[in-house]
Structure 1
Amino acid sequence: MTSQWTAQRVRSTFLDYFKSKEHTFVPSSSVIPYEDPTLLFANAGMNQYKPLFLGTVAPGSPFAGLKRAANSQKCIRAGGKHNDLEDVGRDSYHHTFFEMLGNWSFGDYFKKEAIQMAWELLTNVYALKADQLYVSYFGGSPERNMEPDLEAKQLWLDIGVPEDHIVVGSYKDNFWEMGDQGPCGPCSEIHYDRIGGGRNVRDLVNMDDPDVLEIWNLVFIQFNREADGTLRPLPAKHIDTGMGFERLVSALQDKRSNYDTDVFAPLFTKIQELTGRRAYEGKFGAEDADGIDTAYRVVADHVRTLTFALADGGVPNNDGRGYVLRRILRRGARYVRKYFDVPIGTFFSSLAPTLIDQVGDMFPELAKNQADIFEILNEEEDSFARTLDRGEKLFEQYAARARQQNLTKLDGKDVWRLYDTFGFPVDLTRLMAEEAGLTIDENEFEAARLASKEASKGTKFVSGEALLKLDVHLLSELQNSQVPTTDDDAKYGKGNVTATVLKVVDSTGFVSEVSSGQTGLLLDKTNFYAESGGQEYDAGKILIDGEAEFDVQNVQSYGGYVLHTGYLKYGSIKTGSQVVVGYDVTRRASLQNNHTGTHVLNFGLREVLGDGIDQKGSLVAEDKLRFDFSHKQGVSLPELDKVEKLCSKYIKDNQTVYYKDVSLEKARAICGVRAVFGETYPDPVRVVSIGVPVDELVSDPDNKKWHEYSIEFCGGTHVGKTGEIRELVIVEESGIAKGIRRIVAVTGSAAHDVQRVAQTFSQRLDELEAAIDAIPVAEAEAQAKKLGVELKPLSVSVISKAALTERFNKLQKQITEKVKAQQKAQAKKVVDAIAKYFEQNPDAKFAVLKVEGNPKALTEGFNYAKKNDKTVYLLSVDGDKVAHGCFIADKSASAPEIGQAVSEVVGGRAGGKGQSIQGSGTETSKVDEAIKVVTEKLTALGL
């Protein structure tokens, strides 16, 4: 069976089976649920079908009319309500990433067919032994006044499942709910006994036995949970099933662990190749004495989660799902180094291609985005590698201190510092503590976290502004004391530097020591980039390991003295202190992307607009780049498109970025070099060249081909190769002064985000375009109005914005024409109804009519009545409002008085004077009563 049922065949067999049962294959949704803020990650196959279950699917949606579906959904359960992270590696079946095979029915088939198909697939197609399968059904909940699902039980009996293989399930295990309110229903689970052999294990079902595991859950969505907690039967019943792909493969390959299958075997082989350690042996717990088998499982699981998440646009950071991804990478990286004893920095990017080769056919997005995936993995892993040594060393100090004091718990403040300073997620510290025979004091940790958060309030600089500065008096004091200027050569390198504090500054000036408040530190050397040349400053930390942490929020240079301004998070720092200096690599990476991106953009503009453009200013920030240049007119959309495509090509070509200090005279002689007019440059000047070494430029300065490259004078920090930028998207083009234009662009993950936003908005336009003839005109008008409001401030590519705006305007015009046509048709109906009434009742003095139409249609009716000298009162239900009004031919009668009488019945109010009024009410159920009141009023007036 092992050789017969490869993982790939297991998946394709499932999909082919349901295709034969008239199910539509729906590709897996993104594992990053951008449109569902209630979820950290897609954690179940049903997530993308919520609109179908809730009845809110738009008529133009791809899901409109969908009755049956099947797919394999990418799922992550790490963080939030569903979190399997800390179980991964410890047992044979938990994963943070897994595939969920599923089939769905939306108001089509129900329990009987779902049960029959599941049993047929498992026992006839996959040929699992029926006596190793157990099923459960909801046994009811008397305390909740819920009946057992005896229908499901009987259906299992009907297909031949013996009663001793049918288990009564609890509310927790066998009743599924989307939330506190909404669609819900009982479910039947199918469990598999890995061992079999004539035994009956019904008592082990849902008891966390590794050999008796749930493989499939069939959910019967038949109720709606009302606001008062009661269950109300749904008019349309649905089926939602989910089967663990990895568990099914282990069953079909007759393996007692998911990790023993070919889902993981290629990854284990690659891990062994990369590390040179022993082969995977499948040991658990105490049997895995050296921890290597656990490390295999953790690393293989984590690379799956990271690769799929990054392919779908996830980015490790310090917030929400981004922080979960960072935790997973750092947890995995530590396992790599501790248990496999190999350096980290590029390990996961070396392992990920094996996974992509395995599943790229099913999930092509992995291969499409692999360059971005590898770059992010390397950035994150390299960043953690720089702090891991010092963090582990500090952990050992904390652990030793706890043992010396005969404590079994680590101090919560120490655990917080490991997180806050070195980026050690708490679960990673918890794991390290467990390895050391310790636990952590969770209450103390939470108290330290809250205290740190409170202490930081009011200490951070507004908008990053450096409040402490070296003024003329302080600079004079430094020079008179012969304090050397700062050596900042390390700003172009990677890694931390060790430095000496030369001066400490607070609001009073130079001080010998500081322990609180806003502070400035002057060091003998630094790797921080001080703000200059349009590039913003670095941020980061200055540390005395275990004693003090200084949060650097701004860095400025004053006559060669680099001042790091920020505040102390704990401890104290004094003149002469030896410190470790490290910038925030994530912020630096974004700045480098945007700075090299600015050079690429400058080159693209020159190529498209000509040599006449001159740089007039720039800003290189963490979230964007801004470039100002001379140009007499706005850059047209075709020109912007050309610029963006040229930039993209330069980036995709992955050109090397070269830089070198060159004498100013030789640098100015290089053909095609770009410099800011009027800028004073140092001698020597730093030349940054993309695609050609600086030495070649200097050796042959007159070569005309240098004009085909980006060559600039620049002292900023840059990427090593343009491919690291990944993408550049222009999001704004505008004029800021006569003859001066400004372009704003984004790169890297920010560029990916704006493209995703544009794609999502485009899909919404697709849906409305498809639905425009299927939904009421008023609904189409409302949807278009909402889209129009959202489109105006939408931050996307200028090119995309123009295309979306053009599409929206066409759609708006189409809807407007439909509105006019509907209004014309409604008006005609109203006029025809009045004419018909008086034609059939020639002696009638007035007409009180309930018609169909909005207020504009009623107005046409009043105009007709006025033209024909007829007294008419019209009422119409327009959505959730009552539209009403009249024209009274007799000038002696008071239309407002009659309108007020109607408003007293239908609510709202009416306005007008003399012979005409119009009004709007809210009581749609009282129109007939209003008609009676109007008729009595007009009759009493003798009209």
Structure 2
Amino acid sequence: MSFTLLTEVFGIDKDRLYATYFGGDEKQGLPSDEETRLIWLNYLPAERVLPFGCKDNFWEMGDVGPCGPCTEIHYDRIGNRDASKLVNADLPDVIEIWNNVFIQFNREQDGKLVSLPHKHVDTGMGFERLASILQGKDSNYDTDVFTPLFAAIQKSTKAAPYTGKLGKEDPDKKDMAYRVVADHVRTLTFAITDGAVPSNDGRGYVLRRILRRAVRYGQQFLNAPSGFLTELVPVVVNMLGEAFPELIQKQKEVEEIILDEEKSFGRTLNKGIERFKKIAQGIREANAGSDKALVVPGEDAFFLYDSMGFPIDLTEIMAEEEGMTVDIKGYEECMRLQSERSKMDRKKGGNNGARPLVLEARETSALAGKNISATDDMAKYDWNVKPSAKVVAIFTTTESSSDFVEEVKAGDFERVGVILDKTSFYAQAGGQIYDTGVLSAANFKLAVDSVESYAGYVMHMGPITSGSIKIGDVVECQVDYARRTKIAPNHTMTHVLNFALRKVLGTTVDQRGSLVDESRLRFDFTNNKALKANQLAEVEAMCDDIIKQQLDVYTQNSAQAEAKRIQGLRAVFGETYPDFVRVVSIGQPIAPMLEDPENSNWSNFSVEFCGGTHLKNTKEAKKFVLYEEGAIAKGIRRVSAYTCDLAVEAEERGAKLQAELDAIDKLNGNEFVEAVSAFKPVLDQSLISLPLKDNLRKQVDGLVNRVKKIKKEAAAARAANGVRDATDVATKAKEAGQDIVVVKFDVGTDSKLGREMLEAMSKIIPTGSFMIFSTDSDANKTAAFTQVSQHHVDSKQLDARKWVNHAMAVMKGKGGGKDALNATGQAKTVEKVDEAVALAKDFIQ
């Protein structure tokens, strides 16, 4: 097919094509791929069918994982010559344009190759290379795949035009920057359109690294303005939107995400570059006159990552530009020390340091090698059954090993894994948690606390609580259906929630994940903004209404190709589905949908691919309550909900809070103020209906305004009382012949009131000096307002600053002022205020 497309459809001269195949590897015991060689000889002469070793024709995704031999098609740009010796020579004139990888092995941690139970072909074509061939260009970057982007970059940055220079011919890295920016903005536009989002984990971090590399090249080498990358998105959409219409639909979302990332990284980019320059300069100075290789310490690379947001590969590129390398081991050690690794999931692994109970490719291949068939788990869709099943494998692990055993008894291992020929247990998949229960026989019992499926082998895990079990024994499968009865409503209503969100927010909403267990449901989806209160209310009401409609839940197996044609059918982004799928529909039988898949009416029902366990009718869910909504990443929102009894309880909690708030509304004075303050945190922490919580918060806001008014009136009364009391104290002091006064009030710490009280006392004793301690019991604060007369300063009897600091020291407070005449002290406590008053009085003795 590859050869036919290239030669017959695209019209490429087959005399310029060379095919490579895997020539074998004796060290690894891998034979030459003669089957592929013989197939190629049907199309090309033997001198253009070339064998190569593992380096070129054995594809691996990394140190571990799926891999296999491959066959490649190479093209000679010049032609009319024997270019066989130039194949795989890394020359621009002879290039690889197609690769077919035969994924048939798994590379283990120890380096061994294990045959995969399921094999497939992974094919890939070089789109840009093919375009350069068809357009007669010598470089991918000279094709119309890139030239419009280069023009837009030049317009945005005002840099010199792109000239196609490489390596030493491009010393200022201008052309390199053009290529990096153009390539990366295309990648970002497509990836974000497909639902990926820059983040600090997994594929999201790959995107973030790509984006930050593009920003750095643009700003450092092209002097690009902030936000320039975002400006290039419309160019990509204009170029490729006709072929990929989803680019047009998601353009605004892509622009918002990229702009947000640009702004975030832009705040630290220049600082990071300057920091790296200082690091590089320090390394050169420290190694002046030495022949030692220049290495950026791992600690510095980690700092750039942790504090400046520089991905390690960006630091490596900057180091390479300076003729340096990075101490990757040191960097990785810093990463390791930054946070403790999570402990192994106790559900999957035993205690006491045992390896997790997980079947890798080696184990599943071993089972297949013994002709053990995958587990028949169709009984998982049955309820209240106790089928008998035969034990076909027993898996155990220790701290240093994992192995299949013939027999095991209670106490041998903390937890074991048992594989049966058939089962009624549901293995965790598609967001739904596993079933729990018991496997039992006459003299055996295993408490199943986790169930997982590996390459079709369903493993039941847990401790053996009594007896022993061996291969060939027959056990009874006893699922905890009471627990599953709580899981099923959450799964069915997750489908309903997905449907409701798309109805309320639009069809651009896509599922990004879910979690369904016995206590709640959680749903992740694409949306750039938080849901408004009215949207949450509409979604919740729609879900609750579908429960009230008492709709039947239908399931039917179908060919995937046929089922995908059903209008409105939903599938999970990134999920791989088999050729034959299970369709779940709520409220509409599936057979008519398959007969007339283009009927637009089907969009009015929830229809999804799903292998989980569900209700028979939505009425069994009883009640639906949305209790949580928030962001988990840029452009990804998460909602959580209750069904059944937990939803009813949430509704009752909400009603109770409403009653409490109604009662608070009828209170007055301090009792009202204290009740409102106490109610707010209780409301914030309550897991109740979000629409109700929003309404209660609005009511609380109204009560808070009343609280502010009451406090304002109280403050005004305190101020009036404070000035009056200060006047009275000064009057009595004058009558007693005193010109230095220390007094304590409880009228708050407002500085304006403090000045007013000091002014009132000065009017009574114009040559007097005063220190007023005033407390705020509610805020637990104390202020000391101090004024010293010029007479007392000149006589060096008092200095306002020294006086207030002396007094406030006992309260661990501090004071200060512009001069010796005025000062203010503050303490974050009201305790020991009487001691402070005594110290102030002692100071004037």
Compute the TM-score of the two structures, normalised by the length of structure 2: 0.50
Query: How many angstroms does 1:549 deviate by?
Result: 1.9
Does residue 489 (structure 1) correspond to residue 378 (structure 2)? The answer is: yes
Note the alpha carbon deviations across 1:294-317, whole angstroms, 9 max, x for none.
xxxxxxxxxxxxxxxxxxxxxxxx
Evaluate the alpha carbon distance shift between residue 662 and residue 579 of structure 1 in structure 2; reply closer, same or farther with a 3 A threshold. Answer: same
CA distance in 2, matches of 1:585, 1:821: 62
Query: What does residue 479 of structure 1 align with?
Result: 368
Query: How many angstroms does 1:557 deviate by?
Result: 1.3
Query: How many angstroms does 1:930 deviate by?
Result: 8.8
Instruction: Using the TM superposition, name which of 492-501 and 749-758 deviates more.
Output: 749-758
Does residue 500 (structure 1) correspond to residue 390 (structure 2)? The answer is: yes
Query: How many angstroms does 1:645 deviate by?
Result: 0.6
For 1:750, the aligned partner's letter is L
Query: What does residue 98 of structure 1 align with?
Result: none
Query: What does residue 522 of structure 1 align with?
Result: 419
Evaluate the alpha carbon distance shift between residue 789 and residue 580 of structure 1 in structure 2; reply closer, same or farther with a 3 A threshold. Answer: same
Note the alpha carbon deviations across 1:493-532, whole angstroms, 9 max, x for none.
1122211111111013110111232211000111111122
1:336-415 to structure 2, matched below 5 A, reads none
CA distance in 1, matches of 2:433, 2:842: 78
**C-alpha contact 2:348 2:358 (8 A) present in aligned 1:** no
Query: What does residue 617 of structure 1 align with?
Result: 513
Does residue 872 (structure 1) correspond to residue 799 (structure 2)? The answer is: no
SS state at 1:807 partner: helix
For 1:505, the aligned partner's letter is F
CA distance in 2, matches of 1:690, 1:676: 17
CA distance in 1, matches of 2:574, 2:746: 72
Instruction: Determine which of 802, 808, 824 is the counterpart of 2:694.
Output: 802
Instruction: Determine which of 720, 729, 732 is the counterpart of 2:625.
Output: 729
Evaluate the alpha carbon distance shift between residue 642 and residue 921 of structure 1 in structure 2; reply closer, same or farther with a 3 A threshold. Answer: closer
Evaluate the alpha carbon distance shift between residue 610 and residue 935 of structure 1 in structure 2; reply closer, same or farther with a 3 A threshold. Answer: closer
SS state at 1:635 partner: coil
SS state at 2:750 partner: helix
1:138-537 to structure 2, matched below 5 A, reads 461=348, 467-495=356-384, 496-507=386-397, 508-515=402-409, 516-517=412-413, 518-537=415-434
Query: How many angstroms does 1:689 deviate by?
Result: 1.4
Instruction: Determine which of 626, 631, 637 is the counterpart of 2:522.
Output: 626
Does residue 718 (structure 1) correspond to residue 614 (structure 2)? The answer is: yes
Instruction: Determine which of 437, 454, 471 is the counterpart of 1:540.
Output: 437
Evaluate the alpha carbon distance shift between residue 877 and residue 499 of structure 1 in structure 2; reply closer, same or farther with a 3 A threshold. Answer: same
Instruction: Using the TM superposition, name which of 916-925 and 533-542 deviates more.
Output: 916-925
SS state at 2:531 partner: coil
**C-alpha contact 1:498 1:580 (8 A) present in aligned 2:** yes
Query: How many angstroms does 1:470 deviate by?
Result: 1.9
For 1:726, the aligned partner's letter is K
Query: How many angstroms does 1:719 deviate by?
Result: 0.9
SS state at 1:716 partner: coil
CA distance in 2, matches of 1:664, 1:903: 78
Instruction: Determine which of 672, 676, 686 is the counterpart of 2:568.
Output: 672
SS state at 2:514 partner: strand
Query: How many angstroms does 1:566 deviate by?
Result: 1.6
Instruction: Determine which of 433, 457, 462 is the counterpart of 1:566.
Output: 462
Note the alpha carbon deviations across 1:345-378, whole angstroms, 9 max, x for none.
xxxxxxxxxxxxxxxxxxxxxxxxxxxxxxxxxx
**C-alpha contact 2:444 2:469 (8 A) present in aligned 1:** yes
Query: What does residue 859 of structure 1 align with?
Result: 754
Query: What does residue 660 of structure 1 align with?
Result: 556
Evaluate the alpha carbon distance shift between residue 468 and residue 661 of structure 1 in structure 2; reply closer, same or farther with a 3 A threshold. Answer: same
**C-alpha contact 1:687 1:714 (8 A) present in aligned 2:** yes
Note the alpha carbon deviations across 1:897-941, whole angstroms, 9 max, x for none.
76689789xx746542555454779999996x9989877875x5x
Instruction: Determine which of 567, 574, 589 is the counterpart of 1:693.
Output: 589
Evaluate the alpha carbon distance shift between residue 466 and residue 486 of structure 1 in structure 2; reply closer, same or farther with a 3 A threshold. Answer: farther
Does residue 637 (structure 1) correspond to residue 526 (structure 2)? The answer is: no
SS state at 2:427 partner: coil
Query: How many angstroms does 1:628 deviate by?
Result: 2.8
CA distance in 2, matches of 1:931, 1:740: 58
SS state at 2:670 partner: coil
CA distance in 1, matches of 2:579, 2:389: 27
Query: What does residue 812 of structure 1 align with?
Result: 704
For 1:481, the aligned partner's letter is K
Evaluate the alpha carbon distance shift between residue 862 and residue 481 of structure 1 in structure 2; reply closer, same or farther with a 3 A threshold. Answer: same
Q: Larger radius of gyration, structure 1 or 2?
A: 2
Query: How many angstroms does 1:697 deviate by?
Result: 3.1
Evaluate the alpha carbon distance shift between residue 867 and residue 571 of structure 1 in structure 2; reply closer, same or farther with a 3 A threshold. Answer: farther
Evaluate the alpha carbon distance shift between residue 932 and residue 472 of structure 1 in structure 2; reply closer, same or farther with a 3 A threshold. Answer: closer
For 2:515, the aligned partner's letter is L
For 1:531, the aligned partner's letter is Q
Query: How many angstroms does 1:776 deviate by?
Result: 6.0
Evaluate the alpha carbon distance shift between residue 501 and residue 883 of structure 1 in structure 2; reply closer, same or farther with a 3 A threshold. Answer: same
SS state at 1:686 partner: strand
Query: How many angstroms does 1:560 deviate by?
Result: 1.5
Query: How many angstroms does 1:718 deviate by?
Result: 0.2
CA distance in 1, matches of 2:690, 2:721: 46
- What RMSD, in angstroms, separates the aligned Cα atoms of the two structures? 3.8
CA distance in 1, matches of 2:452, 2:842: 84
Instruction: Using the TM superposition, name which of 805-814 and 850-859 deviates more.
Output: 850-859
- The answer to which structure, 1 or 2, has the higher relative contact order (CA under 8 A, 6+ apart) is 1
CA distance in 1, matches of 2:577, 2:703: 54
For 2:391, the aligned partner's letter is V
SS state at 1:528 partner: coil
SS state at 2:449 partner: strand
**C-alpha contact 1:899 1:910 (8 A) present in aligned 2:** no
Query: What does residue 481 of structure 2 align with?
Result: 585
5+ long unaligned stretches in structure 1: 1-456
Instruction: Determine which of 807, 810, 815 is the counterpart of 1:912.
Output: 815
1:585-604 to structure 2, matched below 5 A, reads 585-604=481-500
Evaluate the alpha carbon distance shift between residue 659 and residue 785 of structure 1 in structure 2; reply closer, same or farther with a 3 A threshold. Answer: same
Evaluate the alpha carbon distance shift between residue 883 and residue 710 of structure 1 in structure 2; reply closer, same or farther with a 3 A threshold. Answer: closer
Query: What does residue 181 of structure 1 align with?
Result: none
CA distance in 1, matches of 2:720, 2:430: 69
CA distance in 1, matches of 2:702, 2:366: 68
Note the alpha carbon deviations across 1:655-682, whole angstroms, 9 max, x for none.
1111121233442343333233554433
Compute the TM-score of the two structures, normalised by the length of structure 1: 0.45
SS state at 2:646 partner: helix
Evaluate the alpha carbon distance shift between residue 937 and residue 672 of structure 1 in structure 2; reply closer, same or farther with a 3 A threshold. Answer: closer
Query: What does residue 553 of structure 1 align with?
Result: 449
Note the alpha carbon deviations across 1:736-758, whole angstroms, 9 max, x for none.
44544333222223323333443
Evaluate the alpha carbon distance shift between residue 469 and residue 848 of structure 1 in structure 2; reply closer, same or farther with a 3 A threshold. Answer: closer
CA distance in 1, matches of 2:355, 2:624: 30
Query: How many angstroms does 1:651 deviate by?
Result: 0.8
CA distance in 1, matches of 2:424, 2:462: 16
Evaluate the alpha carbon distance shift between residue 697 and residue 836 of structure 1 in structure 2; reply closer, same or farther with a 3 A threshold. Answer: same
**C-alpha contact 1:459 1:567 (8 A) present in aligned 2:** no
**C-alpha contact 2:438 2:479 (8 A) present in aligned 1:** yes
Query: How many angstroms does 1:469 deviate by?
Result: 1.8
SS state at 2:465 partner: strand
**C-alpha contact 1:896 1:910 (8 A) present in aligned 2:** no
SS state at 2:715 partner: helix
CA distance in 1, matches of 2:396, 2:450: 14
Query: How many angstroms does 1:471 deviate by?
Result: 1.7
Query: What does residue 166 of structure 1 align with?
Result: none
Query: How many angstroms does 1:458 deviate by?
Result: 11
**C-alpha contact 1:595 1:717 (8 A) present in aligned 2:** yes
Query: What does residue 887 of structure 1 align with?
Result: 787
SS state at 2:593 partner: helix
How many residues in Structure 1 have an aligned counterpart in Structure 2?
A: 475
